[in-house]
Amino acid sequence: MNLRIRDPRARELALELAAKRNTSMTKAVIEALESELKWERGRATLAERLAVIAADLRAKAGEGGQAVSKDEIGAMWGGGQNDA
C-alpha cells in the first residue's frame, strides 16, 4: 500500500523523519503514530495524577495526622496574620 500525504508540511516532516531513521516514509509515519498513541494511552489526567500524589502524602502522614490551617501554612513560609 502506498502512503499519500497531500499536505506539504506533513510530507516534509515525514520525509525528514524517514531520512533521519534511514527508513521509508510509510514506516516512519507508522512508528511516529504508534509512539504518540502509546504516550496518549499511558497519559493520566491531571486529576488522576493529583489523586496519586494525595494518596502518597496520606500514606506518608500515617495515622493521627491533622489538617494544617492557613495561619500555620503562613507561619511555615515566614508570614504572619498581619502581613500585607
Predicted pLDDT of residue 70: 92
Predicted pLDDT of residue 18: 95
Q: How far apart are CA 84 and CA 82, in angstroms?
A: 6
pLDDT in tens, 11-57: 999 999 999 999 999 999 999 999 999 988 888 889 999 999 999 98
Q: What is the pTM of this model?
A: 0.52
User: For the residues of 2-17, what is the DSSP string, one character each?
Assistant: -----SHHHHHHHHHH
Across 47-72, average pLDDT: 87
The full set of domain ranges for the chain reads 8-62
Predicted pLDDT of residue 32: 96
